[in-house]
Amino acid sequence: MAIQVTIGILALQGAFAEHHAAILRLSLPVRPVVVLVRTPEELAVCDGLIIPGGESTTIALLARLSGLLEPLREFVKIKPVWGTCAGAILLAQSVVGAKRGGQELLQGISISIARNGWGSQVESFEVPLHVEGMKDSETPFIGVFIRAPVVLELSRSSKDTPIQVLARLPAELLPPALSGLDDTDPKTIVALRQGHHLLTTFHPELTPDDRFHEYFVRHCVLSTI
């Protein structure tokens, strides 16, 4: 029997259309079905989920209004989720710099994260990244950072699944807000994996390079089916 895989993209706010296009471009032995998730019923059919960049507080509010917040928390416990930028904030265990009223989180990955850690939108930047385990890893992946969050701490306990760091910002390419850090500081981490969850603080969907999308489907989702 042929394997079928369904990738959901949370489509409440943010760059969900770009993720959709990237998944459709993939060339894999199993062609994913893509669902734009706006209801609990749509979430229920998914084998994995992408939470896009956008505005994390707005996404969380819309998820609550759509009846999706608690289903998302249950989904994160059992199925693969990839959070990019705002999605990375939602996946974190805790957040620093939340807006007034707080920030609802899914707490799927054992990290503490800070909103807008690189500064304002005018301080956005692009940088070549070397990503562990990625196809053609000798070819850098261009990370697009737009008001990106910053990983503050790996807060994994002894009971948690180990965290694998996939990519860091090279020390010589750190933006002014983080200058002076060495390459072991958690703040230099821009991509990581914990179990079947993936987190990137930048926007892979804003480039024509689909290797992160392939990595998520191949290594995080298909490995659980």
Report the C-alpha gap between 192 and 165 in whole angstroms: 4
For position 123, what pLDDT does the model report?
Answer: 62
For position 221, what pLDDT does the model report?
Answer: 97
Residue 42, annotated as binding a ligand: no
Residue 146, annotated as binding a ligand: yes
pTM of the model: 0.93
Residue 108, annotated as binding a ligand: no
The predicted-structure confidence for 110-128, as pLDDT tens digits, reads as follows 999 998 766 655 568 899 9
Q: What residues does each domain of the chain span?
A: 4-221
- For the chain, the C-alpha Rg in angstroms (whole number) is 16
Token pair, residue 163, equals 């965290």
Residue 74, annotated as binding a ligand: no
For position 67, what pLDDT does the model report?
Answer: 97
Which residues are marked as active site? Answer: 85, 203, 205
The predicted-structure confidence for 66-112, as pLDDT tens digits, reads as follows 999 999 999 999 999 999 999 999 999 999 877 776 789 999 999 99
* Cβ proximity of 60 and 102 under 8 Å: no
Residue 109, annotated as binding a ligand: no
CATH topology of domain 4-221: Rossmann fold (3.40.50)
* Cβ proximity of 83 and 91 under 8 Å: yes
Report the C-alpha gap between 35 and 112 in whole angstroms: 29
Q: What is the pairing mode between strands 163-168 and 189-194? A: antiparallel
- Regions of the chain where pLDDT drops below 50: none
Residue 55, annotated as binding a ligand: yes
Helix axes of 56-65 and 69-78: crossing angle, nearest 10 degrees: 110
For position 182, what pLDDT does the model report?
Answer: 82
Q: What is the pairing mode between strands 109-114 and 189-194? A: unpaired
